[in-house]
């Protein structure tokens, strides 16, 4: 994408990887403690608690694509403003005593998240050549997952030991340190020329969507995140309790195995796709993911559930980087910001719709239904990828 300077392959921006780790460390600390804070501060019902991720996802959905457009004009400083916005919102969140105001603040936090994540992803995708792009995206996702894993593990302890407001203060501190970390790196690009868009702006997205594989990879990412949030985050713990008969401590351990499996497989999926091609790895990866997710409904023993949790996390991590890497392969550099913004918007759509659809299926039919439906979605997505590969000859290059 970006031509190497001095005959050397450009390196991944360490500042972005560090900021991604800190960003998700703060998010991870807040994740387990936020429902407890809502119940204590606002006497929140279950509906009030589950509305928080919906408005957060809506904030991301609205801003992801506009951030892709603005990236060409405002540059990497958008990432810093997104981090500072989240830090400000964290402080404001602990000062408000009204649930409606708190809800609006969490939606604005989604805006800051979109500003950071869109710029960070674009900077990583745009840097290496296709032979290393899969690994580059995998490293970014590994930084994010590592921060989320450590933060989630310590969030409850921090809430209990340092006070109910401490997770918000901790996240704000993480955002400030992340903003300082990427500040100098972002300033290095301030002098770069930016081609004027003007009348072409409204046609950029159309050009992106006409690029082979882009629309399909957006839908693929939406399916992956819908299953991740709608099934594995919200329903898998309930399945472990209802069908596996395990207690809360065991649930936490089994869920952490899922995150660990994802972390271990992220590098492998990106690296293998760099060698063999995106579609050649993505299609069997989706089918393996579907087989594991569907067969989970036949398991009851805690040991088997733990093994499947690790394997499902690994399958999800194996394919997680591939849609983003393939879009980086296909889209020319001038359109990459818009392409990543659109991909993020599709991902946010899956995050919003996934919990709503999967929860409705579980209530209307059975707790096993969302797992089987998720497996069917993965099989259908794999089939569409196969069809696209046949029609185009190959979309791996």
Could you read off the pLDDT of 311-347 as tens digits, one per residue?
999 999 999 989 988 998 888 888 888 888 889 899 8
| pLDDT above 70: residue 248 | no
Of the pLDDT bands very low, low, confident and very high (cuts 50, 70, 90), residue 372 is: very high
Query: How far is residue 104's CA from residue 86's CA, in Å, rounded to a whole number?
Result: 13
Cβ-proximal residues to 45 (8 Å cutoff; 6+ apart), any chain: none
User: Is the pLDDT higher at 186 or at 233?
Assistant: 233
Query: How far is residue 219's CA from residue 323's CA, in Å, rounded to a whole number?
Result: 9
151 and 29 Cβ atoms separated by less than 8 Å: yes
| pLDDT above 50: residue 116 | yes
Written as six digits, the tokens of 327 are 């879009």
Quick one: pLDDT at residue 172?
Answer: 94
What number is the average pLDDT over the span 60-73?
83
Quick one: pLDDT at residue 369?
Answer: 92
Where does residue 384 rank: exposed (0-12), middle (13-18), buried (19+ CB within 10 A)? middle
Q: In the 3-class helix/strand/coil scheme, how is the chain assigned residue by residue? A: CCCCECCECCCCCHHHHHHHHHHHHHHHHHHHHHHHHHHHHHCCCHHHHHHHHHHHHHHHHHHHHHHHHHHHHHCCHHHHHHHHHHHHHHHHHHHCCCHHHHHHHHHHHHHHHHHHHHHHHHHHHCCCCHHHHHHHHHHHHHHHHHHHHHHHHHHHHHHHHHCCCHHHHHHHHHHHHHHHHHHHHHHCCCCCCCCCCHHHHHHHHHHHHCCCCHHHHHHHHHHHHHHHHHHHHCCHHHHHHHCCCCCHHHHHHHHHHHHHHHHHHHHHHHHHHHHHCHHHHHHHHHHHHHHHHHHHHHCCCHHHHHHHHHHHHHHHHHHHCHHHHHHHHHCCHHHHHHHHHHHHHHHHHHHHHHHHHHHHHHHHCCCCHHHHHHHHHHHHHHHHHHHHHHHHCCCCC
- Domains of the chain listed by start with CATH number: 10-190 (1.20.1250.20), 200-397 (1.20.1250.20)
| pLDDT above 80: residue 152 | no
Phi, psi of 330, deg, nearest 5: -90, -35
| pLDDT above 70: residue 193 | no
Highest mean pLDDT (candidates 22-26, 246-250, 272-276)? 22-26
| pLDDT above 90: residue 308 | yes
What number is the average pLDDT over the span 201-227?
86
Q: Which of 111-125, 174-188, 276-290, 299-313 has the lowest mean pLDDT?
A: 174-188
Of the pLDDT bands very low, low, confident and very high (cuts 50, 70, 90), residue 46 is: low
| pLDDT above 90: residue 302 | no
| pLDDT above 60: residue 396 | no
Query: How far is residue 370's CA from residue 232's CA, in Å, rounded to a whole number?
Result: 10
Distances (CA, A) of 86 to 35, 168, 284: 18, 10, 38
Q: Which of 116, 133, 142, 118 is nearest to 322 (CA)?
A: 133
Of the pLDDT bands very low, low, confident and very high (cuts 50, 70, 90), residue 5 is: very low
Average pLDDT of the chain is: 83
Give just the sign of the alpha carbon dihedral 139, 140, 146, 149. Answer: negative
Q: Considering the chain, what percentage of its residues have pLDDT values greater than 90?
A: 30
Of the pLDDT bands very low, low, confident and very high (cuts 50, 70, 90), residue 240 is: confident
Quote the pTM value. 0.80
205 and 65 Cβ atoms separated by less than 8 Å: yes
Quick one: pLDDT at residue 156?
Answer: 73
236 and 288 Cβ atoms separated by less than 8 Å: no
């Amino acid at each position: 994408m970006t031509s190497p300077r001095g005959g050397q392959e450009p390196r991944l921006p360490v500042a972005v990887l560090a900021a991604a780790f800190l960003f998700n460390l703060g998010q991870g600390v807040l994740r387990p403690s936020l429902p407890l804070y809502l119940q204590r501060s606002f006497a929140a019902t279950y509906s009030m608690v589950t509305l928080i991720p919906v408005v957060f996802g809506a904030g991301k959905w609205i801003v992801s694509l506009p951030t892709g457009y603005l990236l060409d004009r405002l540059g990497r400083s958008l990432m810093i403003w997104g981090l500072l916005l989240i830090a400000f919102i964290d402080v404001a969140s602990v000062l408000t005593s009204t649930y409606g105001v708190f809800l609006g603040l969490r939606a604005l936090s989604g805006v800051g998240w979109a500003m950071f994540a869109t710029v960070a992803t674009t900077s990583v995708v745009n840097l290496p050549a296709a032979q290393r792009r899969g690994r580059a995206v995998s490293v970014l996702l590994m930084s994010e997952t590592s921060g989320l894993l450590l933060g989630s593990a310590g969030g409850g302890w921090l809430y209990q030991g340092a006070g109910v407001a401490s997770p918000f203060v901790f996240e704000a501190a993480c955002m400030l340190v992340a903003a300082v970390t990427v500040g100098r790196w972002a300033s290095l690009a301030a002098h770069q020329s930016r081609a004027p868009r003007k009348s072409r702006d409204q046609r950029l997205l159309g050009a992106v969507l006409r690029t082979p594989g882009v629309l399909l990879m957006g839908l693929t990412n939406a399916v992956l995140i819908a299953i991740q949030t709608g099934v594995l985050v919200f329903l898998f713990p309930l399945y472990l309790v209802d069908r596996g008969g395990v207690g809360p401590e065991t649930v936490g351990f089994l869920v952490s195995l899922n995150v660990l499996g994802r972390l271990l497989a992220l590098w492998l999926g990106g690296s293998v796709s760099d060698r063999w091609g995106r579609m050649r790895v993505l299609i069997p990866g989706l089918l393996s993911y579907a087989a594991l997710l569907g067969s989970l409904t036949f398991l009851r023993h805690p040991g088997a559930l733990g093994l499947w949790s690790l394997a499902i996390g690994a399958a999800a991590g194996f394919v997680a980087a591939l849609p983003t890497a393939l879009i980086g392969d296909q889209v020319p550099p001038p359109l990459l910001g818009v392409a990543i913004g659109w991909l993020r918007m599709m991902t946010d759509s899956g995050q919003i719709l996934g919990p709503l659809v999967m929860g409705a299926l579980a209530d209307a039919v059975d707790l096993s239904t969302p797992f089987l439906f998720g497996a069917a979605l993965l099989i259908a997505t794999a089939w569409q990828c196969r069809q696209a590969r046949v029609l185009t000859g190959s979309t791996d290059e």
